[in-house]
Structure 1
Amino acid sequence: MGKTEEFEELRPLLFSIAYRILGSVAEAEDAVQEAWLRYDRSTTRPASVKSYLCTTVTRLSIDVLRSARVRREEYVGPWFPEPLLADPYEDPARSAELADSLSMAALLLLERLTPLERSVFVLRDVFAFGFDEIAGAVGRSEPACRQLLSRARRHMREGRPRFEADRGERDALAARFFDALREGDVAGLQDLLAADVAMTGDGGGKTPQLARSIVGADNVARLLAAVFPRLAGIDVTLEPREVNGQPGAIFRDREGRVVQAMALDVLGGRVQAIRLVLNPDKLAHVGPVADAWALQRELRRLRRGTP
C-alpha cells in the first residue's frame, strides 16, 4: 500500500482526534493536512504509520490549542465549538458510537482541561489508545500520562454530559420541538423544555446575538415562538440536522445561505440546553454564510411595515 492509501485509510481517525482536541473543523483539517505533508516528506518509513500519524496530529493539535486558548480568553461573549454536521470521513456506525464525545456539551467540558490533559483524555477515554502510544504522542512518560488522565477524569466527572440512550426517542422529541418552533407554539415548546433550560448564543461579536443566556422554559419558549415567525416572514427556513452527534438544525436565508446552527441537549424527555452558533467564521465550512446584519435590518423594516 502506498503512502496516499495509508494516509486516506487513517484520515477518519486523525480528523476525529484533532477535532475533539481543538473544537474547530478548520483547524482540525489543517492539522490533518500538515500531518500528511510531514509524512509525505519523510524519507524513512515509520515502524507504525498509524502511530506516527496519530502522534503528529496530536502534537500539532496541542500546539494549536495552546495558542487558541489565548484567543478564546479574549473572545467576545460565550465560545462554542464549530458545529460539525457530520464527520466528513468517519463510518456512520462508528460516528454513532462516538456521538456523545462530539457533542457541544462534551467539547465545552473539555475546555476545562489543559491541552495535555485534553489530549490524553481524548486518546484514552474516547479512542482507547494504550498508555505507551499516548506517552509517545504527547511526549510524556506513561506514569505522567496516567496522572494527566486521572486529573482530566476528575475535572470531567461532575459535569459529564449525558444524553438519551434511545436515539429514536430523542430524535422524535427534537422533531416535535422543531414543529412547535415553526408554528410559534408557546405551549408546545414549554412542554418540551426542561424547567431550567438555558439558551445561549455564540456570535463572537461579529453578528447580532443574545445579550445574555435566556433561562427557564417560559422565557425560552416565548422568545423562540416570537422570533421564528419573524424569521419565516423574511423567508428564513430551518433544516433539521444532526449537529455534533445530537439533534439540531441549520437556519438558512432565502438564498440558501447559512444564518445559524442550533444544537439541542436532550435528556429525560426534555430539551435541557439550546446552543446557537451565529459567528460567521464558525459557519463557513457549512456553506456560504448569510449577512446577519442585513437580515436584522430586514426584520426591523418588516416590523415597521416599511419596504
Structure 2
Amino acid sequence: MTRADDFERLRPLLFSIAYRILGSVSEAEDAVQETWLRYEASPTLPESVKSFLSTVVTRVSIDVLRSARVRREQYVGPWFPEPLLSDPYQDPERSAELADSVSMAALLLLERLSPLERAVFVLREVFAFSFAEISSAVGRSEAACHQLAVRARRHMSAGRPRFEADPREREELAGRFFDAFRDGDIDGLRTLLAADVVIVGDGGGKAPQVAMRFTGADNVAGALSMVIPAFLRGGGVVEPHQVNGGPGAVFRDREGRVVYTWALEIVDGRVQTIRAVLNPDKLQHLGPVADIWAVLRESRL
C-alpha cells in the first residue's frame, strides 16, 4: 500500500479531528492538506501511520486555532461553526459521541476551552485516544494531559442542557416543524417552540440583519410569520437535512443556490434554539451560494 493509499484511508478521521478542533470546514480541509504535505515530505515511514498523521493534524489544527481566535474576537456579530452536513468518519462503537461532539451546541462549548484543552478533549472523549497517544500529539506529559482533560470535561458538562431530547423524538419533532414551515402554518410552528426559544443568526457582517436574534416564543413566531410567506413566495425551497449531527435544514433559492442553513436544538420536547448561518463565506462548501440581498428583494422583505 502506498503512502497516498494510507493517507486516503485515514483522511475521514483526520478531517473529523480537525473540524472538531477548528469548527471550520475550510480550515479543517487546509489542515488535512498540510498534513499530507508533511507526510509526503517525511524521509522515513512512521511505525504507526495513524499516530503520525493524527499527531500532525492535531498540531496543525492547534496552531491554526490560535491564530483564528484573534479573528473570531473581531468577528461581526455571533460566530457559529461552518455547517457540516455529513461527517466523513464513522465508527459504530462511538456513533453517539461522534454525533454529539459535532453539534452546534457542543462546538460552541468547545470555543470556551483553550486550544490545548480542546484538542485533548476531542482526542480523548470523542475518538478515545490513549493518554500516551494524546501526550505525543500535543507535546505535553501524560499527567498534564490528564489535567487538561479534567478541566475540559468540567467546562463542557457545565454548559450542556439538562433535558436533551431522544434522537428519534428529536427527528420526529423536527419533521413536524419543517412540515409546518413549508405549509406556512405559523400556529403549528408556535406550538413546537419553547417559551424561551431563541433564533440567532451568524451573518459575519456580510448578510442582512434579518432574524439576527429574537427571543421568546411570541417574538420568534412573529419573525417567522414575516419571513416564511415571503421566502416561499419568492420560490424558496426548504431541504430538511442533518446539520452538525442534528436536525436542521438547507434553504435554497428558486435556482437551487444556498441561501442559509438552520440547525435546531431541541430540549424537553420543544425547539429551544434555532441557529442560522447566513455568512456566505461559511456556505461555499455546500455548493453555489445565492445573493441573499437579491433573495430578500425578490421576497420583498
User: Normalising by structure 2, what TM-score?
Assistant: 0.95
Q: Does 1:61 align with 2:92?
A: no
Q: How far off is 1:90 after superposition? A: 2.3
What is the match of residue 107 of structure 1?
107
- 1:41-80 matched pairs, under 5 angstroms: 41-80=41-80
Tell me, in whole angstroms, the C-alpha distance in 1 between the residues paired with 2:91 and 2:77.
Answer: 34
What is the match of residue 159 of structure 1?
159
- 1:160-175 matched pairs, under 5 angstroms: 160-161=160-161, 164=164, 166-175=166-175
What is the match of residue 91 of structure 1?
90
Residue segments in structure 2 that go unaligned for 5+ positions in a row: none
The answer to whether the 8 A contact 1:100-1:163 is kept is: no
- Say which SS state the counterpart of residue 36 (structure 1) adopts: helix
What is the match of residue 27 of structure 1?
27
What is the match of residue 131 of structure 1?
131
Tell me, in whole angstroms, the C-alpha distance in 2 between the residues paired with 1:96 and 1:163.
Answer: 20
The answer to whether the 8 A contact 2:202-2:212 is kept is: no
Decide whether aligned partners of structure 1 residues 34 and 51 sit closer, same or farther in structure 2, where only a CA change above 3 A counts.
Answer: same
The answer to whether the 8 A contact 2:199-2:214 is kept is: yes
What is the match of residue 194 of structure 2?
194
- Say which SS state the counterpart of residue 262 (structure 1) adopts: strand
- 1:138-157 matched pairs, under 5 angstroms: 138-157=138-157
- Say which SS state the counterpart of residue 242 (structure 1) adopts: strand
The answer to whether the 8 A contact 2:211-2:223 is kept is: no
Letter in 1 for 2:111: E
- Which stretch shifts more, 188-197 or 155-164? 155-164
Q: How far off is 1:93 after superposition? A: 4.5
Tell me, in whole angstroms, the C-alpha distance in 2 between the residues paired with 1:299 and 1:195.
Answer: 29
What is the match of residue 296 of structure 1?
296
Q: How far off is 1:159 after superposition? A: 0.6
Letter in 1 for 2:64: V
What is the match of residue 251 of structure 2?
251
Tell me, in whole angstroms, the C-alpha distance in 2 between the residues paired with 1:55 and 1:36.
Answer: 12
What is the match of residue 119 of structure 1?
119
Letter in 1 for 2:284: A
**Cα deviation code 1:247-269 (max 9, x no counterpart):** 00000011110000000011221
Residue segments in structure 1 that go unaligned for 5+ positions in a row: none
Tell me, in whole angstroms, the C-alpha distance in 2 between the residues paired with 1:107 and 1:182.
Answer: 29
The answer to whether the 8 A contact 1:106-1:161 is kept is: no
**Cα deviation code 1:107-140 (max 9, x no counterpart):** 0000000100100111111111111111110111
Tell me, in whole angstroms, the C-alpha distance in 2 between the residues paired with 1:131 and 1:92.
Answer: 20
- 1:225-236 matched pairs, under 5 angstroms: 225-236=225-236
- Say which SS state the counterpart of residue 275 (structure 2) adopts: strand
- Say which SS state the counterpart of residue 60 (structure 1) adopts: helix
- Say which SS state the counterpart of residue 117 (structure 1) adopts: helix
Q: How far off is 1:179 after superposition? A: 1.3
Tell me, in whole angstroms, the C-alpha distance in 1 between the residues paired with 2:161 and 2:291.
Answer: 33
- Say which SS state the counterpart of residue 129 (structure 1) adopts: coil
Tell me, in whole angstroms, the C-alpha distance in 2 between the residues paired with 1:194 and 1:260.
Answer: 23
- Which stretch shifts more, 42-51 or 93-102? 93-102
Q: How far off is 1:212 after superposition? A: 4.7
Tell me, in whole angstroms, the C-alpha distance in 1 between the residues paired with 2:177 and 2:223.
Answer: 14
**Cα deviation code 1:24-55 (max 9, x no counterpart):** 00110111111111111111011111110000
User: Normalising by structure 1, what TM-score?
Assistant: 0.93
Q: How far off is 1:164 after superposition? A: 4.9
Tell me, in whole angstroms, the C-alpha distance in 2 between the residues paired with 1:55 and 1:162.
Answer: 34
Decide whether aligned partners of structure 1 residues 95 and 79 sit closer, same or farther in structure 2, where only a CA change above 3 A counts.
Answer: farther
Number of residue pairs matched?
Answer: 300
Q: What percent identity do the matched residue pairs reach? A: 68
What is the match of residue 12 of structure 2?
12
